[in-house]
Structure 1
Amino acid sequence: MALLTPPSAPGSPPPLPHVRGPARVRARSALWRFRFLLAAVCLGAAAAATVQALRPPGAATVPVVVLAHDVGAGAVLAAGDLVVADVPADAAPGGAFRSPDDAQGHVAAVDLPARLPLAPTLLADTALAGPAGTVVVAVRLDDPAVADLLEPGLHLDLVAARLEGGPGETVARRALVRPAPGARAPQGGLLGAAPTDDGSPVLVAVTPEEAVRIAQASVGARLVAVVVP
């Protein structure tokens, strides 16, 4: 079957060929079709830039030594207990340690929580540490001269004698005498120390429970030291 097309009318021009418009015209047409999407993108970018410009600058931080985990009073700090962390400058205590080597080997003077920035005021020298599970307390004995006769390393039973009389009470057993900071070198005398009358307290390592009993007894009793093996 042949498909017949009507002949062109006499004198009519031939049909125009399909020609694509210029690139600029096509680009304008595309922008017009997507004008709402482009407007939304531009508004989002402007809002993000505004928020970034208005955001306050981050707080200044400083690197300090903090505890990697909780540490109990009397614990000697080791390398595994210490890490360096950036903390806000206004949260760092005065004189905070900057290197783990500065705090390593010192003793926690009190119970210290994890992530706490360390400063010298929170620590004590190893001379003030006692055996594991003990705390160091200062004891003022009834006889001031006895305190100067006691060498570090001796063991004492501490007896509380009530002022009103009655039987005494042993408040600590085998308390370990610790060296006092700045103690004078022995100058002779009984047990290697020269007696004085200044009534210096004695540092002893005792259990936490004994420390409580010593504190209670020191209010209304006289403390007497008995040297034991």
Structure 2
Amino acid sequence: MRWRAALWRGRFLVAAAALALATALGLQSLRAPAPATVSLLVAAHDLAAGTTLADSDVRVAHVPASAAVDAAFRDPAEVLGAGTAVPVPAGLPLVPGLLATAEVGGPAGTVVAAVRLSDPAVAALLAPGTRVDVLAATPETGESGVVVARRALVLPVPGTGDDGAGGGLGLGGADRQQDASPVLLAVQPDEAPALAGAAASALLSVVVVP
């Protein structure tokens, strides 16, 4: 009989525990379901322009479906061996516009010009992703330092197999420039005519800019 008396005295504690359990179960059932996620590829770390993507350069991220970039790659096999056309910060989803292809192209709104610098040694120092102002000088007329393109983007050269500028950027009208390997620049469409004209009649140099 003692156990019955103890049970009777503890009936309030039992009721409270049962109520707490029921409340917890009710809240669990009312909790919103976890949002749906999708898997996509992002840069595993900061990638310089011209980087040939390897396994260590990409990772799979799981993001809410509502925040996913539709064009982002999902499968590492789709990007391994491809090169980055521009610098890519860590965590940025990898989309086709960030990668260089056999069809040479720059950022949206630009056109691509193959150029030769008057000094191949300077050209060789320019890595893909560098921004430069292109200056034209005409020694015969004494004209120097005319800017023909501003903040042009140095692009990777398809098929070079390295992260450099592939032997140099360059343009210029002097015969001695013809032994410099051309390098690709993404420039504004309205700058392309002046750039082409300068290539035929002037010596070109660049100034690295932010």
TM-score using structure 1 length: 0.50
Q: Tell me the residue number matched to 2:40.
A: 64
1: distance between equivalents of 2:26 and 2:155?
A: 67
Task: Point out the more displaced range, 37-46 or 54-63.
Answer: 37-46
Q: Tell me the residue number matched to 1:100.
A: 76
Q: Tell me the residue number matched to 2:93.
A: 117
1:138 to 112, 119, 143: 112
> Structure 1 residues 113, 170: closer, same or farther in 2, change over 3 A?
same
Q: Tell me the residue number matched to 1:218.
A: 191
Tell me the C-alpha RMSD between the 2 structures.
4.3
User: Deviation string for 1:123-158 (max 9, x for gaps)?
Assistant: 2226759xxxxxxx723xxxxxxx7xxxxxx95437
The AA in structure 1 aligned to 2:36 is A
Unaligned runs of 5+ in 2: 106-110, 119-133, 160-181, 205-210
The AA in structure 1 aligned to 2:46 is D
Unaligned runs of 5+ in 1: 1-20, 130-136, 140-146, 148-153, 181-202
Task: Point out the more displaced range, 59-68 or 69-78.
Answer: 69-78
User: Deviation string for 1:147-195 (max 9, x for gaps)?
Assistant: 7xxxxxx954375269xx86133879xx999469xxxxxxxxxxxxxxx
Q: Which has the higher contact order (CA 8 A, sep 6+)?
A: 2
The share of aligned pairs that are identical, in percent, is 44
User: Deviation string for 1:96-124 (max 9, x for gaps)?
Assistant: 22211111122223332222222223322
Bigger Rg, structure 1 or 2: 1
- How many residues align? The count is 152
- Asked if 2 retains the 8 angstrom alpha-carbon contact of 1:156 and 1:176, the reply is no
Instruction: Provide the secondary structure at the position in 2 that maps to 1:63.
Output: strand
Q: Tell me the residue number matched to 1:14.
A: none
Q: Tell me the residue number matched to 1:77.
A: 53
The AA in structure 2 aligned to 1:99 is D
> Structure 1 residues 222, 166: closer, same or farther in 2, change over 3 A?
farther
The AA in structure 2 aligned to 1:105 is G
After the TM superposition, list the runs of 4 or more consecutive aligned residues in structure 1 that deviate by more than 6 angstroms: none
Instruction: Provide the secondary structure at the position in 1 that maps to 2:24.
Output: helix
- Asked if 1 retains the 8 angstrom alpha-carbon contact of 2:102 and 2:158, the reply is no
1: distance between equivalents of 2:32 and 2:19?
A: 22
2: distance between equivalents of 1:72 and 1:176?
A: 11
1: distance between equivalents of 2:64 and 2:137?
A: 52
